[in-house]
Amino acid sequence: MSKVGFKFYNFKTLSSTNDKARELAKDRKYNLVVTAEKQKRGRGRFGRKWSSGLGGLYMTLLLKEDNLDNVRYLTFIAGVSVARTIKKFTDLNAEVKWPNDVLINNKKICGILTETVTGKENYALVGIGVNVNQGKFPKNITQIATSLKIESNKDYNLDKITKIIIKNFNSLYKYYNGEKYDKIIGIWKKHSHTLGKKIRAETLSGDFIGKAVDVDDNCNLILRLNDGKLKKIVEGDISVI
Ligand code: BTN
């Protein structure tokens, strides 16, 4: 399968679009997009809260996948799809931050939460949150979050943005299905905010400081530490220092 015709399930309020997509997977529905105008319990990586008031774009793509070993590439595809969409609608320079964010002017405009459902059939849930028409954010995230409205002083049509993200996702998904992972990594790198920067990586096995020199074929971030050694970062949070 190279291209998916997604069916849309649109809601006003959901707990989380990822949870709704998980429910639909239980009913063996798939290749669909769940959207909500707001989420009551929108969440991010490591169980963090995702601010989900009106004006933001909240959606989850539910994909049927035989093999769930490579879903990290879906996160990369989603990030690039959002960055390309932002560039189509605005003059803003949207960049992907390893592993699952999109930034504008060093602030977060989009987060991606990819989860899986296993059983008789396997599914990937690609949850995408984009800050679009919010004029402000809760105090605790004003320094790190931004929206298209804050950056450009304009409002945007959420449906149009959603459709272009899906279109962009579809055009990259063919590489995923064709196992052309190197192609996905190559495209991601072209949009990268991370590479070339000195960063701190906070991981379960400790903090590491170094220059982000590469992303390998498995989506891992490669740091050159101060002593010149290369360190592979598989999972964690990074910040530019
Ligand atoms: C992160 O930055 O850690 C990921 C944030 C992902 C947020 C999106 S919004 C749509 C979908 N539903 C959720 O509950 N989370 C994702």
Atom number, ligand 1, closest to the C-alpha of residue 44: 3
134 located within any domain: yes
Distance 121 CA to ligand 1 centre (A): 23
Q: What CATH number is associated with residue 54?
A: 3.30.930.10
Q: Which domain holds residue 234?
A: 198-240
Distance 113 CA to ligand 1 centre (A): 5
159 located within any domain: yes
> What's 123's DSSP letter?
E
1 located within any domain: no
pLDDT of residue 24: 96
**Residues near 98 by Cβ (< 8 Å), separated by ≥ 6?**
192, 194, 212, 215, 221, 238
Same domain membership, residue 52 and residue 15: yes
pTM of the model: 0.97
Mean pLDDT of the 160-180 span: 97
Q: Rounded to an integer, what distance in angstroms lies between the CA atom of residue 199 and that of residue 211?
A: 6
CA angle 71, 74, 76 (to 5 degrees): 120
pLDDT of residue 100: 97
The model's pLDDT over 131-166, given as tens digits with 9 standing for 90+, comes to 999 999 999 999 999 999 999 999 999 999 999 999
Same domain membership, residue 145 and residue 220: no
Provide the residue type at 47 as one letter. G
Same domain membership, residue 186 and residue 236: no
Same domain membership, residue 96 and residue 27: yes
Ligand 1 close to Cβ of residue 127 (< 6 A) = yes
Domain count, the chain: 2
Same domain membership, residue 173 and residue 231: no
116 located within any domain: yes
**Residues near 221 by Cβ (< 8 Å), separated by ≥ 6?**
98, 99, 194, 201, 212, 214, 215, 232, 233, 238
List the beta strands (DSSP E) in the chain.
Answer: 7-14, 32-39, 57-64, 94-97, 101-104, 107-117, 123-130, 198-203, 206-215, 221-225, 230-233, 237-240
The model's pLDDT over 78-88, given as tens digits with 9 standing for 90+, comes to 999 999 999 99
